[in-house]
Amino acid sequence: MGAAPSTPRLGAVAGAPASPGAAEQMFAALVGGKAYPISSEFWRQLLELPLTQQWPRDRVLQACHAFAQNNYHTKHLAKILIHLVWCLQECMAESSHAAYRKAINAAYISSIFLKFIIENAKTDNWQELSLEIDNDEKGLENFPSEQSVEYFLMRGVLNYIGSVDVSPESCYLHHELLNLMLVLMSTQLCSGPSPEPKDVHPFIDAAMLQDSSIVSSVVQKLLLNFVKRPQIPLNGSHPAFSDDGGPGVLQRVGSAAANFVLLPYYTFNYLVSSNAEGASSQLADNSLLVLLILIHYRKCITMSESFPSSDVYTSDLNTNVKDAPAFHDNPYYKALSNAKDSQYDRADVEGNAQNGLVVRLSFASLFDALGTCLKDESSVLLLYSLVHGNCDFQEYVLVRTDLDTLLMPILEMLYNASRKTSNQIYMLLIVLLILSQDSTFNASVHKLVLPSVPWYHERLMHQTSLGSLMVVILIRTIKYNLSKLRDVYLHTNCLAILANMAPHVHRLSAYASQRLVSLFDMLSRKYTKLAELKNDKAIKVISDQIEADNISDDTSTELHIYTDFLRIVLEIINAILTYALPRNPEVLDFFNSRMDMQQLDGEWSVDKVLEVINKNCRSWRGEGMKMFTQLRFTYEQESHPEEFFIPYAWRVVLSRGFSFNPGAINLFPVEIHVDDEPSGEQKV
């Protein structure tokens, strides 16, 4: 598999096992300088190789360099991608083991060389891919001359993913295609954090141009994979990979990881796992990653571009902001936003079925799947995308009586905020903020009683309401933010959720009430200190007046922030007292005087105290309190959400094992570490 080209021995019997020497020659020819026509027997023999040979890392690097250099002339990348689509078409037509093997090998080999070229490209328009091919070349009769290679590829791959169910026979191919999709879309990692008209992403742009029927089927299938979590067979005798029933390369990835072309460029340790659970979720996990990248992509419209007339890929103009960038609509996000519950939307489904535009799946199954997976960051991002973008799913969540299915994992993650990134905390709080905009939700969480909260260690919580737990966790998050992150946006979101909940509080626990009062006490003490500091600096004579002005400005800004925080907390307490006092006897220090007025034979008991308080709650008027309009905060997405969500989605992908040359990443800042290992591999 060196850089020196050699001529493979052609004409071998189809299906016959290839010797190590023959396989060596085939790969040398693939990366060499001789161009093989697309109709050559070479491609069949290459794709039928069992790929059980192992090569050291330095030879893999050498081969990738040779392939990238010679591809300008040979166009072998474009040719193998075309063959991949033909193999997928063959799989859909006959589903033979031989067809699966060729398709898997084509996807696997393509992803290796594609990833290397993308990571090492020097041009912004990806000329190194050399995807242009001479349509007059013999053998292109089944290649539409009006289509580009990238469009033809994405149509074939997406059509297969969206049309073919995952089965024990097809699961390996589905997995390779999902991995390939991540490689194809990874050109985004090389662009800046803000999408610009000059950005070129040939493959994901081609994906955005596909027919609406393909788009909706892909979104549906990726969601179903996430929900159903199909398992990958772990036996080593799958006939698609080894004619004699022995383990092929896909079963030997674990032992061959440092040898063949999987590492260091491609670090999904995907088919070998120490337990069935780890492997069974990989298809679901990668399906979700591909979906997140697709739905959050944004394509800028150039000033000279004529807006497409297709209803699939239309313009999304922001005409209210001067010189604001314009974007094409994202059809995958639109399909997710329009997804319907298959169990309760029969009329609409039947009316739109002929257009193939409606993504249909069980919201109940999706809700349950999210509840079991929310500790994973990618699942939280999917939940946000659904509750923010899909009104039907949001309404479905709000009417569920088992809201703890979603909320308990979220609250547990916020409880462990110190182990999370600020972006993770943002997403969790935004989901809660969106849900808290609904009064039914706010009432429901206080009626749902939790027998215990095993992960809360500061004190035992028995028979506490979900709403009381939310109040405790949100206040805990605020205090953590004040001491560690000091992020105003995060703090405001916490207070906004509490403010939305306040008028609907029902039987707030004594512990939650105490935490709310302690929050006010902490903020007031901080405010007092800042006010004193500002006054001291105002009267203190400092020789450097410029420095004094800067310090004073910083103090004034922070003082203003704490003023707003205190005002919101006071209004939260006010809302509880004015709108929800009769439902919250645990809050009432006011009633001490009523207790003193009671004539009682014998000693007081807890039950008797609460009886008196409950009785006096009904007569509470609160004339001395000002009746404020109920605070109500709503979540509005930033004007340029793509600047957050595109980098965030790719950070999630990288955190799940997808490796990429950190020196090539421009989408967000990365810290480059050099390992002490001989390979010298760099990691993000």
d(CA 139, CA 143): 9
Q: What is the pTM of this model?
A: 0.84
The stretches of 344-465 forming alpha helices (DSSP H) are 346-352, 363-373, 377-389, 391-399, 404-415, 422-436, 439-447
Pick the residue with more confidence: 255 or 105? Answer: 105
Pick the residue with more confidence: 616 or 40? Answer: 40
Report the range out of 9-13, 134-138, 284-288, 626-630 with the highest average pLDDT: 284-288
pLDDT, tens digit, 9 for 90 and up, residues 165-197: 999 889 999 999 999 999 999 999 999 989 998
Residues 6 or more apart whose Cβ sits within 8 Å of residue 243: 15, 17, 50
* Contact by Cβ (8 Å): 154, 203: yes
* Contact by Cβ (8 Å): 391, 428: no
The residue assigned the tokens 């909320």 is: 407
DSSP state of 300: B
d(CA 357, CA 211): 10
d(CA 656, CA 295): 18
Residues 6 or more apart whose Cβ sits within 8 Å of residue 275: none
Domain coordinates in residue numbering, the chain: 23-242+258-270+279-303+324-337+654-664, 401-544+554-597
pLDDT band at residue 562 using 50, 70 and 90 as cut-offs: confident
How much is the mean pLDDT over the chain? Answer: 80
Q: Is the pLDDT of residue 629 over 80?
A: no
Least reliable range by pLDDT among 256-270, 330-344, 604-618: 256-270
Report the candidate in 492, 427, 480, 470 with the shortest Cα–Cα distance to residue 634.
Answer: 492
Q: Is the pLDDT of residue 267 over 60?
A: no
pLDDT at position 15: 44
d(CA 463, CA 359): 40
pLDDT at position 393: 97
Q: Is the pLDDT of residue 160 over 70?
A: yes
Q: Is the pLDDT of residue 201 over 70?
A: yes
